[in-house]
Structure 1
Amino acid sequence: MASISSLGVGSNLELNTLLSNIETAEKAPLNAITKQAESYQSKLSAFASIKSVLASYQTAAQKLADAKTFAVVKATSTKPEVLTVSSSSTSVPGSYKVNVTNLAAAHSIVTKPTAKVTDAIGTGTITFDFGGDIATGGAGKTTKTVTIGEDDKSLAGIRDAINRADVGVTASIINDGGDTPYRLVLTSNKSGTDSAMRINASSPELKGLVAFDPKDAVQANGSREAVKAENATLTINGIDVVSQSNLVVDAAQGITMNLVAKGESSVSVVRDTDAIKTAINAFVTAYNNIQSSAKELTAFDTTSGSKSALNGDGTLRSIQTQLRSMLSVPQANGKGGTITLADIGITFDSKDGTMKVDAEKLDKSVSENLAGITAMFSSTADKGGIGKQVNEAVKTFNSTNGMLTLATDGITRTLKDLEDRYDAVEARVKSTMDRYRAQFTALDVLVNQMNGTRTYLTQQFNALNNSTGK
């Protein structure tokens, strides 16, 4: 069979165009499947958006389900130049008069001067005793040892060895500008008398440099105390308080005081109503975000006739209904009565179902009925407060047999079925087009051969006619 380099060349027919039209017709089912898949993929994306806003709503509800949210306080100091304060979850309202009489200080020792930081001094071990009875020659609370080897026997090497050993002491070198300017400074990493140091060494050379005994007024090796180890002392409402650090924790319940200078200050610890209102407003905003997303995802454009991914979807409507209904149920107020969202200034818009907050009414409720609000959102009785109910509802929606899970799993299975159908149809189209292409090629070759035969016969008849005419 003669070969054809391009379909239609041999027969001079528009076979390529015809084949292309046939292929377009054969692929029509693929386009339909693709449109179906795009529709279901849009639904899957829409449900992902719903899951996201529900997760935010759940987070806001969980915060309100925790009674600690309504017990949060804020602490302030009238003299932040004397002390600053911060509160915690265990803080309780109160007021305190604070008098800082002394600040905590970290022990610091300065050695005798040396000419160079690189000159060899000696090897051995340096022992640090901390706290305890070292001031009177007794035992320390803790003991740490640093080994000084051949590579560390200079002033710089001793500094590096101490810092490397991480024994609770920082070593540094200062230059006083004199003839023998270099001194080693050893400073405890913590303040207070428990971190006061007694320093000894195993070799005369190291003793001659770093040894320090706090019971001796004058040190034989020329080292001296640059900063004395001291505790912070203060009174809180007339009660004496001693702290190893300038960060005084829980001397007043749940309060951390950072002592800055000697002096007096008043500390006020009050209920943080702003934080409580912020948490409630965040809950309202999160609920409204669900409504906004639902409205967008179920919209229908009457002008164009187009509809959003979840238009008419029963799952989303059911979720909205359940969430709205649980917020309409009166809750226990912790005093034998009931309380509703409307009682604290939260109502529903009849048009779009969103919640609105009457800020003035909420302010008054938080100030006058915080116990009732706390019970409404975070009660542990029966089904719990609104916070727990919403949290459990969202968990149920997303559970193995929850409506969101069932809906998205169904869509996922449908997408897989569509993918399988697409592959099957695509394979059938390819097989059909391969058959047509072979048939068209054979037709092209046959017509080309017939055209050749026609041309040959025409030539022969013409030649015969010419011969007869002579």
Structure 2
Amino acid sequence: MGTVGLSFGAATSGQGFDVASTVTQIQASEQAIETPWKNQLTALQAQDTVFTSLGTDLSTLTTSLQALTDFQGVFAEKQGSSSNTDLLSLTAADSTAVAGSHTVVINSLAQTSSEVSSAISNASDTLSGSVTIQGQEFDIDSSDDTLATLSAAINAADIGVKASVITDSSGSRLSLVSGTSGAAGQLDVTSSLSGASSGAIAFQVGQTGKDASLTVDGVSVTSSSNTVSNAISGVTFQLLGSSAGTEVQVEITNDNTAIATAVNSFVTAYNAVIKDINTQEGKDSSGNPEPLYGNPTLAMIQSQLTGSLFAGAASGSINNITQLGIGMNDDGTLTLNADTLNGALNSNFSDVTGFLQNSGSFAQTMATTLNNLGTQAPNGAVYLAQQQNSAQEAALNTDISNEDAVLAAQKTQLTDELNTANEILQSIPSQLNEVNEMYSAITGYNTGNGG
């Protein structure tokens, strides 16, 4: 405990001293023990903030790399185009499609079977008899004895036929349309219907069910629908017209635009991590070292991350990232040349894919490196650094709490002792006065007037 000089004037003044400030002075040296602990705690907490940000950016980098290594990701996406969109329109090209050119000739479109009844002059005319559709007989009774109620009954039966009432200037008719396109949906309708005022009601074919007929790369193909998905693997297209002998070129290409976007996202995410590291290698605006300046974990992350850019096996003609248009700047960040990447994709698509997705490839090797650098438990470098800091912070907080408890007990003791001493000092004048009065009473000498 440090030595503190008390200043309370003459002992006979009765002034005493300020107990609270005296206790503070006495404990100042003891409290100074906590200063380096608190400074260390503040430094560790500043490191935690940087590690958290770095961990987030490493996670973003991992996610961006996964977009390139995913077998069903952007490298599997395809685009399609038609040389004659009046006859054929591309609908979709999925990951099973293979880039290439196909020649399609549309001989005839698919048709959906339909039939329509003869007209009756009054739509509310009462019907009688029966109608059989696709083998399902509908006997007319009071619940379905008009065109409207009969139409509703057919639809409710759910036999794969859509019924409706069509009304024009010549009267009203019952329209039947197959729910299945092509030849397989051909309607079979027999009728003994009659109307109270119109007589027998007959049905006639509106359109015959027919499959589409086309050739794809010289191979004859039929389709029950004008939406064709069985002609080119992974490709769906819509037939819009027929013109026998007219060739339509269908081009299936890799989606270079989506790939370029994914590669650019990777470059951006990588640069964010490098900028995090570069920032920690200097001083802040006040001239103080950054929280992770000289930190070995940071140096290890930088070394392994940079090294991973040049690791991994080659794939055919592609053996380094510069062939993908990715170059390194002086500060360690990356830039992407979109033209170089597009050229590589157009000329060596499978090799580029392998460079990113083959076992032991560049991207697969970097993915393994990233798994060892981030916040992944139990071995991620950032995770381990955070755990180490957490343990140190817990120990420091315990030391500070224990010291605070000692100081609190000491403060109570000192305050009690100094209050007692202060009371004694403050009572001295009255005690001296009592002595003087006793002396005067005994001697008759008055100390108060100097006599």
Q: Kindly state the Cα deviation for residue 460 of structure 1 after the two structures are TM-superposed.
A: 6.5
Identify the residue that residue 375 of structure 1 maps to in structure 2: 354
**AA aligned opposite 2:94:** S
Match of 2:425 among 430, 438, 447: 447
TM-score, normalising length: structure 1: 0.65
Matches within 5 A, 1:123-272: 135-137=133-135, 192=181, 215-217=189-191, 233=212, 235=214, 237=216, 239-243=220-224, 248-257=228-237, 267-272=250-255
Larger radius of gyration: 2
Matches within 5 A, 1:31-110: 31-66=35-70, 69-77=74-82, 83-93=89-99, 94-97=101-104, 99=106
Identify the residue that residue 418 of structure 1 maps to in structure 2: 396
4+ long deviations beyond 6 Å: 79-82, 103-109, 185-188, 193-197, 227-232, 459-464, 466-470
**AA aligned opposite 2:331:** D
Whether contact under 8 Å (1:58, 1:394) holds in the other structure is yes
Cα distance change of structure 1 residues 16 and 73 upon mapping to structure 2, 3 Å threshold: same
Identify the residue that residue 272 of structure 2 maps to in structure 1: 289
Identify the residue that residue 319 of structure 1 maps to in structure 2: 301
Query: Structure 1 residue 275 and structure 2 residue 285: aligned?
Result: no
Question: 2: CA distance between counterparts of 1:334 and 1:137?
Answer: 63
Identify the residue that residue 370 of structure 2 maps to in structure 1: 394
Question: 2: CA distance between counterparts of 1:252 and 1:83?
Answer: 14
Question: 2: CA distance between counterparts of 1:262 and 1:52?
Answer: 54
User: How much is the aligned-residue C-alpha RMSD, in angstroms?
Assistant: 5.1
Identify the residue that residue 438 of structure 1 maps to in structure 2: 416
Question: 2: CA distance between counterparts of 1:416 and 1:49?
Answer: 21
Q: Kindly state the Cα deviation for residue 29 of structure 1 after the two structures are TM-superposed.
A: 3.4
Question: 2: CA distance between counterparts of 1:49 and 1:417?
Answer: 24
Q: Secondary structure at the match of 2:190?
A: coil
Question: 1: CA distance between counterparts of 2:68 and 2:103?
Answer: 30
Q: Secondary structure at the match of 1:315?
A: helix
Q: Kindly state the Cα deviation for residue 229 of structure 1 after the two structures are TM-superposed.
A: 11
Match of 1:308 among 269, 290, 313: 290
Match of 2:32 among 5, 28, 35: 28
Q: What is the number of equivalent residue pairs in this alignment? A: 393
**AA aligned opposite 1:137:** G
Whether contact under 8 Å (1:11, 1:447) holds in the other structure is yes
Question: 2: CA distance between counterparts of 1:266 and 1:299?
Answer: 60
Question: 2: CA distance between counterparts of 1:441 and 1:168?
Answer: 103
**AA aligned opposite 2:319:** I
Q: Kindly state the Cα deviation for residue 273 of structure 1 after the two structures are TM-superposed.
A: 1.9
Cα distance change of structure 1 residues 18 and 268 upon mapping to structure 2, 3 Å threshold: same
Q: Kindly state the Cα deviation for residue 228 of structure 1 after the two structures are TM-superposed.
A: 9.3
Question: 2: CA distance between counterparts of 1:285 and 1:268?
Answer: 32
Whether contact under 8 Å (1:344, 1:365) holds in the other structure is yes
Query: Deviation digits for residues 96-146 of structure 1, max 9, x if unmatched?
Result: 53759657879999xx989xxxxxxxxxxxxxxxxxxx844179xxxxxxx
Whether contact under 8 Å (1:299, 1:311) holds in the other structure is yes
Query: Structure 1 residue 339 and structure 2 residue 346: aligned?
Result: no
Query: Deviation digits for residues 226-261 of structure 1, max 9, x if unmatched?
Result: x999788464637444346x76545422123467x6
Question: 2: CA distance between counterparts of 1:328 and 1:193?
Answer: 58
Q: Kindly state the Cα deviation for residue 323 of structure 1 after the two structures are TM-superposed.
A: 2.2
Question: 1: CA distance between counterparts of 2:440 and 2:159?
Answer: 118
Percentage of pairs with the same residue: 20
Question: 2: CA distance between counterparts of 1:459 and 1:78?
Answer: 128
Question: 1: CA distance between counterparts of 2:176 and 2:430?
Answer: 109
